[in-house]
Amino acid sequence: MEVTVQDRQKRQRISPRDVRRMAERILGALGLQDRELSVLLVDDDEIRELNRRYLGRDRPTNVIAFPMEGPHPRPLGDVVISTETAEREAEEGGISLKEEVALLLAHGILHLLGYDHERGPEEARRMEEEEERLVKVALSP
């Protein structure tokens, strides 16, 4: 398994090493030890531009997942996380930034696997349950 983390933001303090470790645990729990994942930590300006360019939504968001297309089965895709939005959501939810990033990692990876909470309430519930399980794995000591 290969997880690369690029920290392209300057405001929030989150260890790329911790992010990589959490992503590796999530991939392991999903039986995806043979896959590659790229994680980008960005600010609201950068994720807003990505959201506008690729999804047609001119606003920041917490996470965007870009699945890897093509014949190569190893690369799973890219997960882009706005640490600014993550910090706001963590404060609103009364959790740490690390916990919020674990949730966003799980959410993004599940999107790469085809989960989509916008398909309906049953799919949203199923995705939320899996996210809860994966966050526990990601944050385990």
From 42, 34, 47, select the one nearest 14 (Cα to Cα): 42
The string of pLDDT tens digits covering residues 10-41 is: 887 899 999 999 999 999 999 998 899 999 99
Pick the CATH number of 2-136 from 3.40.50.720, 3.30.200.20, 3.40.630.30, 3.40.390.30: 3.40.390.30
Average pLDDT (54-71) is 91
Strand-strand pairing, 75-82 and 36-42: parallel
Q: Kindly tell me if the per-residue pLDDT of 71 is higher than 70.
A: no
Three-state helix/strand/coil letters over 14-32: CCHHHHHHHHHHHHHHCCC
Tell me what pLDDT residue 72 has.
64
d(CA 13, CA 30): 28
Tell me what pLDDT residue 62 has.
97
Tell me what pLDDT residue 131 has.
96
Tell me what pLDDT residue 120 has.
84
Tell me what pLDDT residue 113 has.
93
Strand-pair partners of 39: 5, 79
For residues 69 and 30, the model is more confident at 30
Give helix then strand counts, H and E, for the chain: 5, 4
The string of pLDDT tens digits covering residues 93-137 is: 999 999 999 999 999 999 999 998 878 889 889 999 999 999 999
d(CA 52, CA 74): 28
Q: Which residues contact 122 (CB under 8 A, 6 or more apart)?
A: none
Q: What is the pTM of this model?
A: 0.92
Tell me what pLDDT residue 112 has.
95
Strand-pair partners of 74: none
